[in-house]
Amino acid sequence: MTMLMKAKEAADQVYDSIRTKVKDLKQKGLQPHLAVILVEGDPASAYYARAKQKIAEKLGVTFHLHSFQADVTEESIVQLIVRLNDDPSVHGIMLELPLPLHLSAGKIEKMISPLKDIDGVTPGNKLAVVTGDAGLYPATPQACIKLLKHYGHPLEGKNVTLVGRGQTVGLPLFHMLQRENATVTVCHSRTPDIASHLAHAEIAFVAVGRPNIIRGNMVHSSLTVIDAGINEVEGGKIVGDTALDVRDHAAAVSPVPGGVGTLTTAILYENLLKAIAFQLGEVHSR
């Protein structure tokens, strides 16, 4: 029977460790503070921002949600980012996506200080993922690997098929998998027959953003599938990129919701603590 790789236990372990570190920092007089920027108009983003806020409260982290109306200008957001960059009481900055069409996420994100960039979106941190230098790496690819390892799967020497080469998940994950010494095949929108690549794989990571990209008849009984996709379907339901019948044919699969996304939020807070270490000069970034 297919194993369902739920992420709650792994996320709770991360949160336990964060709570202890937050207590230590507070005893030293430092109050961790995360600033999240939200442009209104996308209900899912607002939901994720609120979910992060609830977790911050449980962790003892100060959380400030900076909300803008949907018609906000890039300049106004950048002005806020400059102010947050300069504010020593703020340790992490994150921009919720997607943005309305008149705003460029790339232009805005690159204004975030790399030392406060808890989702690894600035040019310096993107480069660090490629080179393996110290930096703040994006949370979702880290979550993909952590979830796999939590279930006892090593990556070294494994045949891995990665479906999706997007900037947020697939591309950074590709570089991280190289450093784990996996043998990686990358599939994308121009790959004619994804199933033929899955046939040789022991592990698959899927990060496309379309429901049912991977179906039961494309997988096999020794394949472990980590699904990073988040898709809103009819009725507001959230599903991943893998069809439900993958559960009948693969060795193991991570659920959506309750899989990669659950661990991603925990890792964002882990990154906040790394950011604090960088800002205190305890670890040297690029």
Sign for the pseudo-dihedral over CA of 150, 152, 155, 160: negative
Residue for token digits 């690819």?
Answer: 141
Residue nearest to ligand NAP (CB): 166
Position 257 contacts ligand NAP (CB under 6 A): no
- List the interface residues with ligand NAP, window 135-164 (CB under 6 A): 140, 163-164
3-class SS of residue 160:
strand
Output 58 or 188, the one with its CB closest to ligand NAP: 188
Position 255 contacts ligand NAP (CB under 6 A): no
Report the nearest approach of ligand NAP to the CB of residue 37 (Å): 16
End-to-end Cα distance, the chain: 46
Binding segment toward ligand NAP, per CB under 6 A, in 72-80, 102-110, 166-174, 247-255 = 166-174
Residue among 279, 266, 260 at smallest CA distance from 17 = 266
Torsions phi, psi of 39, nearest 5?
-100, 125
3-class SS of residue 9:
helix
Position 55 contacts ligand NAP (CB under 6 A): no
3-class SS of residue 80:
helix
Position 219 contacts ligand NAP (CB under 6 A): no
Among 224, 229, 252, 270, binds ligand NAP (CB under 6 A): 229
Position 261 contacts ligand NAP (CB under 6 A): yes
Sign for the pseudo-dihedral over CA of 129, 18, 87, 63: positive
Position 236 contacts ligand NAP (CB under 6 A): no
> Which residues lie near ligand NAP (CB under 6 A)?
140, 163-170, 187-191, 207-210, 213, 228-231, 260-261, 264
